């Protein structure tokens, strides 16, 4: 089952996600949706992306119920966000010599992470890194470019997707064109 995401509401980071007939609230990048995206632009990239795999905090819960491949996040897992590094937009082991995001966060935002196939085949330096679908803040505050959902909604989505599913982040309200 495929997923559609679009900006919704007065705030740039407010969004909606549709899977099948179900629509739910989501948070987007602080600057809404953009195309093309750039590293550090604070926007969710427009496009259609594969759902690569799931990462989860095994120390905070069980493996999510999903048909996607899933593996636990360890304390040394990171994601390189340094455009000039050969490991850009790839998982790395921490500590890492270049800039890298820590996946084992203290907050609960990365308790479950779906790695999206954004800028990964091939990786183009500067086009953006670490674009995930993950747990939203309680107030649905903005992300740095990811799509964030309520934990129960993220579980719902994961139970319905398959390895052939994709997510489309629309650069305009869903069902409309520019």
Tell me which long-range contacts 119-127 makes (C-beta under 8 A, separation of at least 24).
119/37, 119/45, 119/89, 120/52, 120/89, 120/90, 123/88, 123/89, 123/90, 125/83, 125/84, 125/88, 126/38, 126/39, 126/83, 127/36, 127/37, 127/38, 127/39
Q: Say how far apart CA 27 and CA 45 lie, in whole Å.
A: 13
Distance between CA atoms of residues 16 and 6, nearest Å: 6
Radius of gyration of the chain (CA): 15
Return the biggest CA–CA distance within the chain.
45
Bridge partner list, 55 = 71, 113
Question: Which residues, including other chains, have CB under 8 Å from residue 92's CB and lie 6 or more apart?
Answer: 78, 79, 80, 100
**Is residue 78 a contact partner of residue 14, using CB atoms and an 8 Å limit?**
no
- Which residues are catalytic, by number? 134, 146
């Amino acid at each position: 089952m495929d997923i559609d995401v679009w900006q919704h509401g007065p705030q740039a980071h407010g969004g909606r996600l549709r899977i099948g007939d179900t629509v739910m609230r989501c948070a987007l990048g602080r600057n809404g949706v953009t195309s093309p995206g750039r590293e550090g632009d604070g926007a969710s990239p427009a496009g259609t992306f594969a759902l690569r795999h799931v990462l989860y905090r095994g120390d905070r819960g069980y493996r999510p119920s999903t048909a996607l491949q899933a593996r636990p996040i360890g304390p040394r897992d990171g994601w390189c966000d340094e455009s000039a590094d050969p490991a850009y937009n790839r998982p790395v082991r921490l500590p890492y010599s270049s800039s890298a995001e820590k996946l084992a966060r203290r907050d609960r935002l990365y308790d479950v992470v779906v790695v999206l196939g954004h800028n990964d085949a091939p990786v183009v330096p500067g086009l953006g890194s670490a674009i995930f679908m993950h747990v939203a803040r309680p107030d649905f505050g903005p992300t740095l470019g990811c799509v964030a959902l309520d934990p129960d909604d993220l579980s719902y989505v994961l139970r319905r997707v398959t390895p052939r599913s994709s997510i489309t982040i629309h650069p305009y309200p869903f069902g409309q064109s520019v």
